[in-house]
């Protein structure tokens, strides 16, 4: 029975049994991003952003733009010291009263052109000039902050949230008190969503507050890491020990089934338990990224060191990234020209800018792998006739195929079809090329190009028995 078709690269999909895979679903998808509809391209690289003032791990990155709309600062916390960069280009400079707790996450909120910060251990502080901070009298010790209904709200170190006086971030004495949040556990984070204040505890319990009453969301699927919470148009994404969730203010919605085997699996080779507590996440240009450390899924048995789970919100696609430097904190900010920039910090105090025309990871090559499987919806043998793949001309990508009767990693004997510099790679299988599965793999690790992969085409005959 003849069969032919076109494959356009889609999402990483480790959740569905191979026989249910759609053509284009991938079992490996490393260091690419979506291009035109039905096409993938190599992800951008990164280059160093500013200097390394103390060579210690970056634990927090955040930004503050003044109400004037023209002046802003980027902030970095490393080794328990708070640094600022004026307009995002000035050299890192220590903030006045900028000594915090080494290794701690620092939260922040802005109200009435005043920034409030805290790490949950030392005194909460505020700034009106962007470069120096003052201990905030009577404010609770907290690491989680949000502005809501004209007040700054703070998540304490136990099970209560506190609020400042209306219209001020610095008065925590007048018309200021606390609200006890029901349920087990201590405060894990709080944020604003759909004009409501949302709280979460380290037990996963979540509540919503409207200024009058507390509503129990009847879930224990809150963020495992406050640093993983990120926003796209009032839509929150975050990591939980059972997956990545989207939250619109009502109920958390699991969106990570496709990469579940990289989050937890039967071999115990997915995300290490302690990583869930402080995994850093960010939303940038409709992509959510969260760093989860080294993972090995139990479908392909492939290991990704320092894996970054990437979710494309617009395309509903998953993929993996791997940087030459593991991200410990992220920041997406608008620069002085109005362009959105993405930076991250490593464990040596260095930050990096991701994107643009950069084609290496600060000089290191970017390895790319995309792998899929064709089965033609049956376990019957197939006679494979020919295979074609389409790329942008001049690229340095290569493509391989392997015919197997099993899904075992070691059973794949790859046939290298050569480079794709002409834009089209075509291969006619030798007589007798027969098997149940045809695996295809695109790979590349150049320093000077970002290839585009548009898809492939195949022809085969199902052998009836």
Could you write out the DSSP letters of every residue in 21-57?
A: PPTT-EEEEESEEE-STT-EEEPP-EEEES--SS---
Confidence of residue 172 (pLDDT cuts 50, 70, 90): very high
Predicted TM-score (pTM) of this structure: 0.95
Run of H or E residues at 263: helix 260-263
What is the pLDDT at residue 356? 87
Predicted confidence band at 409 (pLDDT cuts at 50, 70, 90)? Answer: confident
Say yes or no to pLDDT of 193 above 90.
yes
Average pLDDT over residues 237-265: 96
For residue 171, pLDDT over 80 is answered with yes
For the chain, how are helix, strand and coil distributed in percent, rounded to 5? 5, 50, 50
pLDDT at 1 over 70: no
Q: What does the pLDDT average to over 242-253?
A: 95
- The domains of the chain, with CATH numbers, are 2-43+368-462 (2.60.120), 46-354 (2.130.10.10)
User: By percentage, how much of the chain surpasses pLDDT 90?
Assistant: 86
Q: Is the pLDDT of residue 130 over 80?
A: yes
- Residue 418 has a pLDDT of 86
Q: Assess whether pLDDT exceeds 80 at residue 173.
A: yes
Question: Per mean pLDDT, which range of 10-14, 18-22, 129-133, 448-452 is the poorest?
Answer: 18-22
Residue 250 has pLDDT above 70, yes or no: yes
pLDDT at 224 over 70: yes
Beta bridge partners of 214: 209
| Mean pLDDT value of segment 297-318 | 94
- Is residue 131 scored above 80 in pLDDT? yes
Q: What phi, psi does 411 have (nearest 5°)?
A: -85, -10
- What's residue 377's pLDDT? 86
State yes or no: pLDDT of 413 exceeds 90.
yes
Return d(Cα 43, Cα 55) in angstroms, integer: 27
pLDDT grade for 388, boundaries at 50, 70 and 90: very high
pLDDT for the residue numbered 37: 83
**Could you give the CA distance from residue 452 to residue 200 in angstroms, rounded to a whole number?**
41
**What does pLDDT average to over the chain?**
94
User: Is 78 in contact with 69 (CB distance < 8 Å)?
Assistant: no
Percent of the chain having pLDDT more than 70? 99
**C-alpha radius of gyration, the chain, whole number:** 25
Distance between alpha carbon 248 and the CA centroid of its chain, in Å? 18
How do residues 424-455 score in pLDDT, each as one tens digit?
A: 999 999 998 999 999 999 999 988 889 999 99
Tally helices (H) and strands (E) across the chain: 1, 40
Could you tell me which residues come within 8 angstroms of residue 459 by beta carbon, excluding any fewer than 6 positions away?
2, 3, 4, 384, 385, 386, 387
Range 405-420 average pLDDT: 88
Stretch 188-194: mean pLDDT, rounded? 94
Strand ranges inside 43-201, DSSP E:
46-49, 58-65, 72-78, 81-86, 93-99, 107-111, 114-118, 125-127, 134-135, 144-148, 151-155, 160-163, 178-180, 187-193, 196-201
What does the block give as tokens for 123?
Answer: 């005194």
Rounded average pLDDT over 324-353: 97
Instruction: With CA atoms as reference, report the closest residue to 287 among 326, 307, 317.
Output: 317
DSSP at 181: P
Whole-Å CA distances, 80 to 57, 335, 380, 451: 9, 26, 61, 41
Strand partners, 383: 434, 461
Q: How far is 129 from 66, CA to CA, in rounded Å?
A: 9
**Mean pLDDT, to the nearest integer, of 15-28?**
83
What pLDDT is stored for residue 127 in this prediction?
Answer: 98
How sure is the predictor about 2, in pLDDT bands with cuts at 50, 70 and 90?
low
Q: Residue 22's pLDDT is what?
A: 79
Secondary structure (DSSP) of 394-428: T---EEEEEEESS--GGG---EEEEE-TTSEEEEE
CA–CA separation, 273 vs 292, rounded Å? 10
Cα(268)–Cα(247) distance, integer angstroms: 27
């Amino acid at each position: 029975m003849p069969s032919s078709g076109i494959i356009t690269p889609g999402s990483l999909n480790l959740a569905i049994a191979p026989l249910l895979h759609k053509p284009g679903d991938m079992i490996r998808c490393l260091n690419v991003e979506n291009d035109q509809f039905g096409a993938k391209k190599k992800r951008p690289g990164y280059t160093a952003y500013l200097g390394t003032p103390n060579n210690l791990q970056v634990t927090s990155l955040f930004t503050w733009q003044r109400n004037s709309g023209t002046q802003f600062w980027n902030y970095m916390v490393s080794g328990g010291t708070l640094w600022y960069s004026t307009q995002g280009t000035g050299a890192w400079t220590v903030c006045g009263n900028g000594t915090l707790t080494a290794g701690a996450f620092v939260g922040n909120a802005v109200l009435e052109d005043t920034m409030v910060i805290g790490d949950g251990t030392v005194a909460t502080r505020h700034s009106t000039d962007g470069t120096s901070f003052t201990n905030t009298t009577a404010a609770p010790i907290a690491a989680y902050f949000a502005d809501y209904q004209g007040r700054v709200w703070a998540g304490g170190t136990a099970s209560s949230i506190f609020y400042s006086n209306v219209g001020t971030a610095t008065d925590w004495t007048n018309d200021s008190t606390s609200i006890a949040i029901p349920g087990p556990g201590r405060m894990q984070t709080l944020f604003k969503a759909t004009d409501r204040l949302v709280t979460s505890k380290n037990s996963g319990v979540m509540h919503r507050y409207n200024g009058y009453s507390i509503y129990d969301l009847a879930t224990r699927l809150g963020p495992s890491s406050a640093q993983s919470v990120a926003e796209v148009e009032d839509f929150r994404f975050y990591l939980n020990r059972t997956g990545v969730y989207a939250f619109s203010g009502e109920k958390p919605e699991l969106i990570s089934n496709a990469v579940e085997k990289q989050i937890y699996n039967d071999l115990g080779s997915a995300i290490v338990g302690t990583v869930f507590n402080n995994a850093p996440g960010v939303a940038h240009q409709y992509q959510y990224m969260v760093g989860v450390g080294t993972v090995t899924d139990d479908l392909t048995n492939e290991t990704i060191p320092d894996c970054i789970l990437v979710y494309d919100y617009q395309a509903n696609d998953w993929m993996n990234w791997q940087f030459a430097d593991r991200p410990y904190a992220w920041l997406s900010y608008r620069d002085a020209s109005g362009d959105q920039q993405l930076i991250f910090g490593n464990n040596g105090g260095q930050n990096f800018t991701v994107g643009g025309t950069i084609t290496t990871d600060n000089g290191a090559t970017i390895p790319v792998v995309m792998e899929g499987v064709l089965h033609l919806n049956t376990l019957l043998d197939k006679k494979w006739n020919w295979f074609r793949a389409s790329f942008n001309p001049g690229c340095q990508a290569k493509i391989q195929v392997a015919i197997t009767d099993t899904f075992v990693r070691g059973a794949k004997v790859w046939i290298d079809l050569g480079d794709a510099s002409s834009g089209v790679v075509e291969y006619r299988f030798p007589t007798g090329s027969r098997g149940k599965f045809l695996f295809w793999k695109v790979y590349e690790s150049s320093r000077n190009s970002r290839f585009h992969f548009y898809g492939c085409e195949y022809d085969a005959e199902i052998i009836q028995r």
